[in-house]
Amino acid sequence: MRRSIQRELNDFFGKLNGSDYSIRQVTKSAFSQARSKLKYQAFIELSNSAVDYFYSSAPYLLWDKHRILACDGSTIMLPSSVDIGTEFEPTGFGPGAAAQRSVAKISLLYDVLNLVTLNAKIDTFKEHEITLLKTQLSEVKFMPDDILLLDRGYPSIGLLYELQHRSIGFCVRLKDNWWKEVNTMLEAKQKDKIVTFTLPKKDSELQNIFSGKTNTVTVRLVVIELEDGKKEILCTSLMDAEKYTADSLKQLYHLRWGIEEAYKLFKVRADIESFSGMSALSVRQDFYAGIFAMNACAVLNFPIEQKVREESKGSTDKYAKKVNQTNAFSLVRECMIGVFIKKKIKCFLISFDEILTKTTEAIRPNRSFPRNHKQKKPKSMNYRKM
């Protein structure tokens, strides 16, 4: 939602009727009543269908023989209303936590090479991202050689045990001041080591859940030297040190940055926090509709992305090229009426291909930017752009 609901509706029906200007055909009240009857699960099914079609039809990208997935959590600010506050309990912010605001915890399980979101969750702010991940592990159709990338906020012996018994490969970063085995390894100046962890008593029920014959999990710890002199400790299920060297694991874990780019597209470019309603249902509708739009964009964009990258290999340009994802997402949003309602699919694909091929951007390796942790102001539901 970039503008008020009524302006969006007028513009929508103007385009739908082939008019050069907006048409007031449906009121915002009628729209709100109609959407209250729409289940948000419809967008989940649409998104899952797009993902299933992609993996069954496209020559999707792999790292070695592995599909590379990443999971990460984030938060989104919600509008203030009684209905939203009932389902998403307000949390205190500011001095003395006096300012109450509804915030949602979200989690994406994302294919970083193919830009596809396999699963998305939205829950209350108090729900931990690890809990959301464990729910996602039971819902996603994993492939035999998948590798899951996780940052320092996720790893636990219980989670590593669960990933092993679900036959999901992993490469996760560990906190160097929290894991005893890591500290011992660093003190001994070791850089590559096989370690066996014993499942703690609090996670003993996992043995019954996964019918485990053992209460241990064996992993490989690798110390990576970063450019700034710091050390990064990776814990992985990839045991072959000759095939998966420290440099290749460093490259592998760096791919996790793809999910950060996905969040930038979802939260900043798509502006997901500009919700179109004041109910908990509308929040979930907007959230999962945004995920579906991202997946539709990824599927449509995939062959063009591959064509651009192949053409850039034989170019004399300093840097390789890639498609501008913000531009691609914007085009998909603008063409929804023509594609899904008017069925002008061929015209759209030709135009989509031509525009994206001409608006590429350079891939500049080894760039890094400090994060901006400044607290942002919540979105206002009262004042919209014209």
17 — pLDDT class (breaks 50, 70, 90): confident
Residue 32 has pLDDT above 60, yes or no: yes
Give 159's contacts (C-beta < 8 A, 6+ positions apart).
Answer: 130, 133, 134
Average pLDDT over residues 270-291: 93
Beta pairing class for 103-111 and 147-150 = unpaired
Length of the chain: 386
Nearest to 43 by CA among 296, 303, 386: 296
> Could you give the CA distance from residue 264 to residue 99 in angstroms, rounded to a whole number?
26
How far is the C-alpha of 6 from the C-alpha of 12, rounded, in Å? 10
Mean of the pLDDT values across residues 116-138? 96
Q: Which pLDDT score is estimated for 62?
A: 96
Domain residue ranges in the chain: 1-37
* From 53-57, 153-157, 326-330, the region with the lowest mean pLDDT: 326-330
pTM of the model: 0.89
Average pLDDT of the segment spanning 1-25: 86
Helix %, strand %, coil % of the chain (to 5): 45, 20, 35
Q: What percent of the chain has pLDDT over 70?
A: 94
Those residues whose C-beta lies under 8 Å from the C-beta of residue 105, and which sit 6 or more positions away, are 73, 74, 75, 122, 123, 124, 125, 126, 127, 128, 129, 132
pLDDT at position 100 over 60: yes
Residue 383 pLDDT > 70, yes or no? no
Query: Are 214 and 197 within 8 A, CB to CB?
Result: no
- For residues 309 and 295, which has the higher predicted lDDT (pLDDT)? 295
pLDDT band per the 50, 70, 90 thresholds, residue 382: low
User: If pLDDT is split at 50, 70 and 90, which confidence band does 368 have?
Assistant: low
Comparison of pLDDT for 256 and 380, the residue scoring more: 256
The pLDDT score that the predictor gives to residue 226 is: 84
The answer to whether residues 235 and 155 touch, using CB atoms and an 8 Å cutoff, is yes
Q: Confidence class of residue 384 from pLDDT cuts 50, 70 and 90? A: low
d(CA 287, CA 298): 17
The per-residue pLDDT of the chain, averaged, comes to 89
Q: Where does 58-188 have alpha helices with state H? A: 82-87, 129-139, 157-165, 180-187
Task: Tell me the sheet residues that pair with 63.
Answer: 66
Q: What per-residue confidence (pLDDT) applies to 93?
A: 79
Q: Strand pairing partners for 76?
A: 104
Start-to-end CA distance of the chain, whole Å, equals 11
Predicted local distance difference test score (pLDDT) of residue 193: 93
Confidence of residue 228 (pLDDT cuts 50, 70, 90): confident
Tokens 């440099």 correspond to 247
Examine the pLDDT at 317 and tell me if it is beyond 80: no
pLDDT digits (tens, 9 = 90+) for 129-175: 999 999 999 999 999 999 999 999 999 999 999 999 999 999 999 98
Tokens of 316: 């004399």
What's the pLDDT score for residue 337?
84
Q: How far is CA 359 from CA 268, 305, 339, 362, 364, in A?
A: 20, 11, 21, 10, 16
pLDDT band at 246 (very low <50, low <70, confident <90, very high): very high
